[in-house]
Structure 1
Amino acid sequence: MQHRLEAVIFDWAGTTVDFGSFAPTQIFVDAFRQAFDFELSLAEARGPMGLGKWQHIEALGADPVVGARWQARFGRPMSHADIDHIYRTFLPLQVERVAAHADLIPGTLETIAAIRGRGMKIGSTTGYPRQVMERLMAAAEAKGYAPDCTVCADDLEAGARPGPWMALQCVLDLGIGSVARCVKVDDTLPGIAEGIHAGMWTVGLALSGSPAGLTLAEYETASAEERRAVRERVTPAFVEAGAHFVIDTIAELVPVLDEIEARLGRGERP
């Protein structure tokens, strides 16, 4: 049936695990400090979230504010050698700590069960390298979450986000018949771009991910007004990036899948 969805492809940190996506952001701060005694704020570290981690560091070096501070400190722009050194510092820190940020975002198990109950497959892509994901996948599986496939930022020669390649590799791995019957769910703008470039429906997560920057405790104790304020701050960027839907967290996804199938039934495509 051409109106039935075949797969959902999820991001990891900020989408299915690690509410607020704190594991990578804090470690970028620590890696810059350890590698070059260079101070980076958490807000600055969040800026390029969703890219591969080497590309994330490169983007921070190209950021007008961070780059100017780097230039003032070292008298030169950040070089590829500098990026390599920060990345080599980042990687073991991330491998060491990622399992401590493997708690599932509330609603993940229920949503995954509902998706599987519809006969759909579960794919995943991530800005983490494979070395980090081996640790995170094992920790998540112990908590009950194991997608049918995972494609990492360093798996493909073509590259990672914002290109379509990781999402399209999921299509191949899962044996999907049409990209128009796939949904990409992500808390980052590069992740939304990945889905759009792959020809998929896209769903942005406004409150569980890096742009919102809330801890789970902050989210759970926030008033309706406080949540609305964060939602209004974060959502426009997702809309501008082309997200077809924007919801708070993965817990609200199933009704969106119903709406997408209704739109497919009317002949609409992403």
Structure 2
Amino acid sequence: MTDMQTASHPATDVQGVILDWAGTVVDFGSFAPTSIFVEAFARAFDFEVTLEEARQPMGLGKWDHIATLGRLPSVDSRWQARFGHPMSRDEVDHLYHTFMPLQIAAVTRFAAPIPGVLPVLASLREQGLRIGSCSGYPRPVMETLVPAAAEQGYRPDHWVATDDLKAGGRPGPWMALANVIALGIGAVHRCIKVDDAVPGISEGLNAGMWTVGLSVSGNEFGATWEEFAVMGQEEVAARRAPAEAKLRAAGAHYVIDTLADIAPVIADINRRLALGERP
């Protein structure tokens, strides 16, 4: 019998959670990547994209994010009016190489854990769960973010960057499955993928995992912690509703406000697993 099959953590229970980074564990509102996309476009081509446009492809690897952003109808029409052609691969490369040093420099400013998350993760570890993680950030960004987050108390058991695997990143299952292998988890249906963006939900579904969307702490809600803290209930509800709808439409099994609210979800998944249910 393994340590994951003790009386306190029977073989039917969840063994691990695979967590996104920005908007899920750190960086309430997922501002580190979105604001830097806006800056990169301005620096590379003196071209304006809005924060709302920059948020739309969130969750993809950052090169793919830039390419997808360039294909948004609103961006593409302005780009073609300005440059006379759709955004080219060379232009995406130039934007990406402009983006990378800006992102590396900025990411430590957004490494603070989302309020309430660290005690919940400590509780999950006490229950025997393993904490995996993956990100749309490439490895050079993660190599800066991971130690910065560790200084503030967040240390997952494993992490995977979007460019670590030849197969690629989201919405494919590979980063999530790499965590399963590294953490020695016995079955994918005993894992939960938690993310604030649609590609991350698709990643978990493609990996055969339970999926939990976050409707307030991340990209879809799009507010800082300070903004959220002073919002009235009506505004919170108005911003939460479309975020929740988008995550549920992507197939999320559960949608909660922030990762700090996940304990009842895990209890319900354990109940469903004990009944023989699968994602």
- Give a deviation string over 1:5-46, Cα, whole Å, max 9, x none: 110000000000000000100100000010011100000000
Residues 1:125 and 2:141 aligned together: no
CA distance in 2 between counterparts of 1:40 and 1:229 reads 25
User: What is the rounded CA distance, in whole Å, between the counterparts of 2:205 and 2:53 in structure 1?
Assistant: 26
Structure 1: distance between partners of 2:248 and 2:242? 11
Q: Does 1:259 align with 2:268?
A: yes
SS in structure 1 of the partner of residue 216 of structure 2: coil
1:83-122 equivalences in 2 (<5 Å): 83-122=92-131
CA distance in 1, matches of 2:29, 2:54: 13
Give the structure 2 partner of residue 217 of structure 1: 226
Please name the residue that 2:4 is paired with.
none
Helix, strand or coil for the counterpart of 1:185? strand
Which amino acid in 2 is paired with 1:65?
A: S
Where does structure 1 lack aligned partners over 5 or more consecutive residues? Answer: none
Q: Which 5+ residue runs of structure 2 have no aligned equivalent?
A: 1-9
Aligned to 1:123, the other structure's residue is in SS state strand
Query: Of 222, 235, 238, which residue of structure 2 is paired with 1:226?
Result: 235
Q: Could you give the per-residue CA deviations for residues 201-250 of structure 1, whole angstroms, max 9, x where no partner exists?
A: 00000000011101101111112222111111211111110000000001
TM-score scaled to structure 1, two decimals? 0.99
1:54 aligns with 2:82: no
Q: Answer yes or no: is 1:200 the counterpart of 2:209.
A: yes
AA at the equivalent of 1:106: P
- 1:2 CA displacement: 3.4
Number of residues of Structure 1 aligned to a counterpart in Structure 2: 270
Give the structure 2 partner of residue 44 of structure 1.
53
Q: Paired residue for 2:27?
A: 18
CA distance in 2 between counterparts of 1:34 and 1:226 reads 34
What corresponds to 2:3 in structure 1?
A: none
What's the TM-score once normalised by structure 2's chain length? 0.96
- Match for 2:52: what amino acid? A
Distance 1:2 1:78 in 2: 51
Task: Indicate if the aligned counterparts of 1:153 and 1:160 stay in contact, CA closer than 8 A.
Answer: yes
More deviation in 82-91 or 233-242? 233-242
SS in 2 for 1:8: strand
Aligned partner of 1:245 among 254, 262, 278: 254
Moved over 3 A (4+): none
Between the aligned partners of 1:164 and 1:250, the Cα distance in structure 2 is: 21
Query: Does 1:32 pair with 2:41?
Result: yes
Q: Distance in 1 between matches of 2:66 and 2:183?
A: 31
Residue identity opposite 2:226 in structure 1: A
CA offset digits 1:173-192 (Å, max 9, x no partner): 11110000000000000000
What residue is the counterpart of 1:178 in the other structure?
187
Amino acid at match of 1:132: V
In the alignment, what sits opposite 2:152?
143
Counterpart amino acid of residue 41 in structure 2: F
3-state SS in 2 of match to 1:149: coil
Is it true that 1:168 corresponds to 2:172 in the alignment? Answer: no
What RMSD in Å do the two structures reach over aligned CA positions?
0.7
- 1:117 is aligned with what amino acid? E
Cα distance per residue 1:141-193 (max 9 Å; x no partner): 00111101100011001000000000000011111100000000000000000
CA positional deviation for 1:61: 1.1
The question of whether the paired residues in 2 share the 8 Å contact of 1:203 and 1:246 is answered with yes
**Counterparts of 1:65 and 1:139, CA distance in 2:** 36
CA contact (8 A) 1:2 1:265 kept: no
* AA partner of residue 171 (structure 2): P
Q: 1:2 aligns with which of 1, 6, 11?
A: 11
Measured in 1, the distance between the counterparts of 2:80 and 2:120 equals 46
1:242-262, Cα deviation, whole Å (9 max, x unpaired)? 000000001101111001000
Partner amino acid, structure 2, of 1:102: A
| C-alpha contact (below 8 Å) 1:2/1:264 kept by paired residues | no
